Amino acid sequence: MRIPLAIIVACALVTGCKRASAPARPDGGGGGAGATVITQPNGPTIVQCPATGCPPDSAGPPRDGGELVVHVEAEPAILCDLVEHDAWSRWIAENVVTETLLFQDPWSGAITRRLAASFEATADALTLHLRPGLKWHDGQPFSAADVVFTIGRARDPAVGADQRSDFDPVSAVETPDANTVVLRLTRPAPFLKQALAHLSILPEHLYKGKDLRRAEASRAPVGTGPFKFVSWKQGDELVLQRNDAYWGEKAHLDRIRFRFVRDKEVAFELYKRGELDVLWQVPATHFDEVRSDPKLTGHRLLSWTPRTYFFIVWNSERGRLADPRVRRALTMLVDRTRFDEVAFGGHARPITGPYAPGTPSYDATITPWPYDPAAARKLLDEAGVKSMKLTFLYYGASRSAEQLGTLMKEDFAKAGVTLELASVDFAVQLDRLRHHAFDASALQWTLSLEQDNYDLFHSSQAAGGQNFGSWKSPAADALLDEIRKTADDTARHALDRKLHRLVHDEQPYTFISMREVESLLQPRVHALLPSQDGFTFARAWVSH
Amino acid sequence: MTGIARRFVVVPLTLVGITLVTFALLHALPGDAALVQAGTSRGASPEALAAMRHQYGLDRSLPAQYADWLARSARLDFGESLVDGRPVRAKIAEALPVTLGLALLAAALAFGVAVPLGAALGWLDRAPVVRATSSALYAVYALPVAAVALLVLRAGAPWGARTLAGMLPAAAVLALAETVKLARYQRGALLDALAADYVVTARSKGLGAAGVVAHALRNALLPTVTLLGSELPALLSAAVIVEQVFGLHGIGMMAFDAVMTRDVPLLLGITTVGAVATLAAVLAADVAYGLVDPRLRGRSA
């Protein structure tokens, strides 16, 4: 764990500065064991969250009632995570309004029950026993038919759901009775339970025969969760209220208002005025100022790291980029540490491969390729490359991508590589990526705890899939095929680590870093913990 | 054909031309609405993209798509947004009053401040105070709108308030540059008018200072009125920034998003409404011109 020096110094200067280790936490809202909590008499309480998540505050007991106002940076078009891929649509709805059959702890990855009261997994079937007597928010009964309907939509290639390929091993979905769902398997399905933990069950009676993107229920979702949808004023706010008939432990908050503020500076201003209770991300330009702002005394600053990594994808089919030595040389020309300083104020963690650091899939013995222009130049000579001209394609609205391009241009020039920067809008970037009409581009992926990299790196996925760089490696293909067939966690994780090593050696990507997010909470907010799957709204409460 | 009647022929043709160009430009850009919505998601398979394109009618020929849009919009049905499926008309109806209110409020502020200010500067002509004020006006003109807007917000201006009073700070920010432009214009026009023969005549006949200014100002208003009419599009585009900072969900932001997401029906709807508003503003300026100057009544400006 890294605490910026400035804070430690500031901490030493003020009196009564306390550091404490946070207690562990048993529920799914993160554990936060080993977190560092710094309370300051003249500034916010700074919580540096480790890979086990953020710890809860010690206030209590919870008080029922009140309203929470949450800052949303990007307004989703609709709320239906089968077709809306924006993270906020999941954060607003998943396990808040709608619910999943299983629940995956966002930090440990442990799978527990949600709409399914129990489940049994055998080699050829996964049987889920639904909680009996559940009702949708509109009063209609919830049943196995809704589950069959939702899984059917998720498996339809025309829908384009993220979980589709996780269901490939499923040959049939059966419902022996209204509260039982059996998924028949033709082969091992290592990612199935995780997929079920991120698949919000849809009410069949509101969606049947309708297009998911156009159905009324995708703008006014009806679920079984602890909060009910109330209203959505586009461009302004979305309101939820407590579901008093919830089957599980009822929520404490009366209402949640999600306010759409897309400008980070404006959101920061509104937070300081008290118009927002939760600022999901402090703008990087204010990182230092926030940590010692006396007006924020009593506020909580949660510094945590979503499993989202920033990387450069090389077009492995273009000219000299086909040579792994060239790609490795280019990686050694990217000063990742300096980039993290410039773009994220140093608030980022290194990553070397396509798995979540800290999980058994991630080979922690791999060290990042160093930033070493001399070694890079030697590698280029070995590969017979005197000079090279490349274009770096990036999304113009991404400031960090622009900063990366500028740094690369400078460093590449010293090694005889001319880098041209091409700033485009998202649609153009996507179009070029899918047609492999680029040399290099910057993107970010969000990792699952059980990450299946088939879509990113299998050679079959170069045509129409996410293998934008057309990296075609028989060794990787063999590993990726094997991983999908290996149900045993230990054996599969060993294969994951082999793939990690291969990707590191071949560098289809240059892995940059995972950036930290600094979330700010008003002093009145309690038990609200962030994770990349969303906030613990169901447990949160406000003190006045 | 009189001027106004000619306008009734030219305006619809202009509208069709504007929408055709917008349509062609949007389709000339790489990427479409289906691609943006699928994004980089795992499920963005060729089948999923094809299904979306079919559903949105993007798999038809371009002339067929445009002809269909034209036929529908002739009945004032602008279709549905490709992004959220809501009727374009409903989306515009939500956002238009915000932007229009903002722009009109800004125009009123700009006009209300600029005319007396410009006239005063013109009347005082070479006084030192005029020079100082002119320099100050230049400085104001050069201020970046986004920074000023953020400062005004920081000073406590309301956010997301859609009442006229609530929008006043946002309108004031929007009006700043326009006020300077109009005031300078007004000053020049008054100076010209004061030098004109009829003012010299009036003065020689013994008309007092107040009388002279009133006389000259009426003529000097003409160019300012015209300018205000033609400045509406500039106000609308500056509104994008102001809308974003003050949390006003208006047409400016909506049009920007429509381009980014390749939401063709929404952008065409906005373009049409914007073109109608601009043409209406120019017409209104014509009418106002006539009111200010009786000589122009019945003629076309």
- For A388-402, give the DSSP string: EEEEEEEETT-HHHH
| pLDDT greater than 50 at residue A2 | no
| Residue A265 near chain B (CB below 8 Å) | yes
| pLDDT greater than 80 at residue B291 | no
Give residue B281's pLDDT.
Answer: 75
> Where are the strands (E) in chain B, listed by range?
none
Give the separation between CA A132 and CA A247, rounded to whole angstroms.
10
Q: In this predicted structure, which of A262-266, A444-448, A478-482, B212-216 has the lowest mean pLDDT?
A: B212-216
pLDDT per position as a tens digit, A346-383: 999 999 999 999 999 999 999 999 999 999 999 999 99
Subunit contact A431:B35, Cβ cutoff 8 A: yes
Subunit contact B49:A236, Cβ cutoff 8 A: no
Q: Is B183 helix (H, G, I), strand (E, B) or coil?
A: helix
Give residue A331's pLDDT.
Answer: 98
Residue whose entry in the numeric block shows the structure tokens 């400031």: A399
- The residue among A195 and B138 whose pLDDT is bigger is A195
Residues 15-54, chain A, touching B (beta carbon < 8 A): none
| Residue A213 near chain B (CB below 8 Å) | yes
Give the separation between CA B169 and CA B164, rounded to whole angstroms.
10
Average pLDDT over residues A405-427: 95
Subunit contact B45:A262, Cβ cutoff 8 A: no
**CA A440 → CA A133, A335, A384, A393, distances in Å?**
54, 16, 20, 6
Subunit contact A430:B86, Cβ cutoff 8 A: no
| pLDDT greater than 50 at residue A456 | yes
Give residue B298's pLDDT.
Answer: 55
| Residue B85 near chain A (CB below 8 Å) | yes
Q: How large is the ipTM?
A: 0.85
Percent of chain A scored above 90 by pLDDT?
A: 86
Q: Could you tell me the two tokens for A256?
A: 């949640």
Subunit contact B249:A234, Cβ cutoff 8 A: yes
Nearest residue to A207 (alpha-carbon basis) of A165, A145, A161, A135:
A145
Best of A72, A164, A213, A310 to disrupt the B interface (most B CBs within 10 Å) is: A213
Q: In this predicted structure, which of A64-73, A306-315, B188-197 has the lowest mean pLDDT?
A: B188-197
Cα A448 to the center of its chain, rounded Å: 7
In angstroms, the separation between the Cα of residue B39 and the nearest Cα of chain A is 7
**Phi, psi for residue A228 in degrees, rounded to 5:** -110, 145
Residue A494 neighbours by CB under 8 Å, 6+ apart:
none
CA atoms within 13 A on the CB side of A508: 24
| pLDDT greater than 50 at residue A148 | yes
In angstroms, the separation between the Cα of residue B185 and the nearest Cα of chain A is 34
| pLDDT greater than 80 at residue A8 | no
Best of B40, B240, B262 to disrupt the A interface (most A CBs within 10 Å) is: B40
**Chain B residue closest in CA terms to A154:** B43
Strand partners, A240: A229, A256
Burial per residue of B149-179, b for 16 or more beta-carbon CB atoms within 10 angstroms, e otherwise: bbebbeeebbbbbbeeebbbbbbbbbbbbbb
**Chain A residue closest in CA terms to B149:** A266
pTM above 0.95, yes or no: no
| Residue B53 near chain A (CB below 8 Å) | no
Nearest to A158 among B47, B247, B260 (CB): B47
Nearest to B31 among A219, A265, A428 (CB): A428
Give the separation between CA A343 and CA B125, rounded to whole angstroms.
52
Count of CB pairs separated by less than 8 Å, A with B: 121
Q: Is A513 helix (H, G, I), strand (E, B) or coil?
A: strand
> Where are the strands (E) in A155-305, listed by range?
170-177, 180-185, 227-233, 237-242, 255-260, 278-279, 300-304
Q: In this predicted structure, which of A362-366, B98-102, B149-153 has the lowest mean pLDDT?
A: B98-102
Nearest to A162 among B42, B83, B159 (CB): B42
Burial of A62 by CB count in 10 Å (0-12 exposed, 13-18 middle, 19+ buried)? Answer: middle
In angstroms, the separation between the Cα of residue B190 and the nearest Cα of chain A is 41
The residue type found at A445 is W
Contact present, A142 and A134 (Cβ < 8 Å): yes
Q: Are strands A102-104 and A116-121 parallel, antiparallel or unpaired?
A: unpaired
CA torsion through residues A409, A413, A416, A422, sign: positive
Average pLDDT over residues A118-123: 94
pLDDT per position as a tens digit, A20-69: 444 333 344 556 778 899 999 999 999 999 888 898 888 879 999 999 99
| Residue B127 near chain A (CB below 8 Å) | no
